Amino acid sequence: MNLILFHPQELSDRHLILTGRRAEHIRKILRGTIGDNVRVGMINGLLGTGCIQELSGDSIVLQVQLTTAPPPFPPTDLILAVPRPIMLKRVLAQAASLGVNRIFLINANRVEKSFFSSTLIRNNAFTEPLLLGLEQAIDTRLPEISVHPRFRPFVEDLLPELLANCPIRLLAHPEGEQTMAQAAEGMLSQRAILAIGPEGGWVDFEVERFREQGFIPFNLGPRILRVDTAVPALMAQLSLLRQFP
C-alpha cells in the first residue's frame, strides 16, 4: 500500500479517522508514530499528506493536507469478456494499477453465463479491487466500469458511440496476423481501446463484429495466456509502446 485512500465523506475539518486495514498498515508496516507524515489521497480527488495526530486503540487520527492533482487518466479503455469472478478481482486491481479510463465488462460465446450472477457483478462491488490497484500506483481516480450481458447490443449499438475518439482499436486474438506494435503503428499518441476475450478466445462471429467496427486483430506471440496474465501484459506493452514509439 503506497497510498492511504479515503472517501470524501470520511474527512471532517481536515481530520481523518482510520481503522481496520489502513490503520493496521500505518502501525505495522509503516511503523508510524505521532508527528509522522503518510501519503494520502481522496478518492477521485487530490493527493497529499496526513500527519499522525493520535494513536489510540484500533484507530489513528490524521490531519490531512491535500495539495497535488493525481496523474491524468491514461488514454486507454479496456473491453473485457467477463472471466471467473475470483480472476476478475485480480484483473480489475491490475488494470487500475497500470492505468485505464473505462472498463467494459461484456458477454461472449465462451463466457459462462453464471459469471454475470456472481456477487461481484450483481452488486457492482468493483470498488475494493480497484482501490487496491490505485493504492499500489499512487493514484486516486477510479476507472469507470459498466457491465454488458448481451454481446450484439454492445458491439452494434453502444460501441460505435464509444469509438468516436478512439483511433486505436485493438483486438487481442491468437489468429491475428500482426503484433500490437504493427496494429497501432503511427497512432500511439492517440486514444486506444483494447478488447481482450475469454479464456477460450473470441469465436469467428465476434471477431467479425469487432472488425466491422475498425478493430485490428493482433496476436501475443506463440504462447496462449490466461486472462489475468494477458491483461497486465498487454496493457504494459501498450504503455511501453507509447513511451518509445
Q: Using one digit for the tens of pLDDT, what is the confidence trace for 173-185?
A: 988 889 999 998 8
Residue at a domain's end among 35, 68, 101: 68
> Nearest CA to 107 among 34, 181, 177, 206?
206
Percent pLDDT > 70 in the chain is 100
Q: Are 233 and 225 in contact (CB under 8 A)?
A: yes
Q: Are residues 55 and 84 in the same domain?
A: no
Q: 104 CB contacts (<8 Å, ≥6 apart)?
A: 77, 78, 79, 80, 145, 146, 148, 154, 162
* β-strand partners of 148: 106
Segments in the chain forming alpha helices (H): 20-24, 85-98, 119-122, 127-137, 151-152, 159-162, 180-183, 204-212, 227-243
CATH number at residue 206: 3.40.1280.10
**pLDDT higher than 90, residue 189:** no
* Structural domain harbouring 22: 4-68
**pLDDT higher than 80, residue 89:** yes
Q: Are residues 64 and 100 in the same domain?
A: no
pLDDT in tens, 4-16: 999 999 999 999 9
pLDDT in tens, 133-183: 999 999 999 999 999 999 999 999 999 999 988 999 999 998 888 999 999
Averaged pLDDT for residues 111-128: 95
Q: Are residues 137 and 171 in the same domain?
A: yes
- pLDDT score of 24: 95
Q: Are residues 52 and 85 in the same domain?
A: no
Q: Please give the C-alpha separations between residue 154 and each of 108, 148, 151, 195, 211, in angstroms, as whole numbers.
A: 11, 7, 5, 13, 14
pTM: 0.93
- pLDDT score of 40: 98
- pLDDT score of 73: 84
Q: Residue 7: what are its φ and ψ, rounded to 5°?
A: -80, 150
Q: Are residues 186 and 205 in the same domain?
A: yes
Q: Are residues 87 and 141 in the same domain?
A: yes
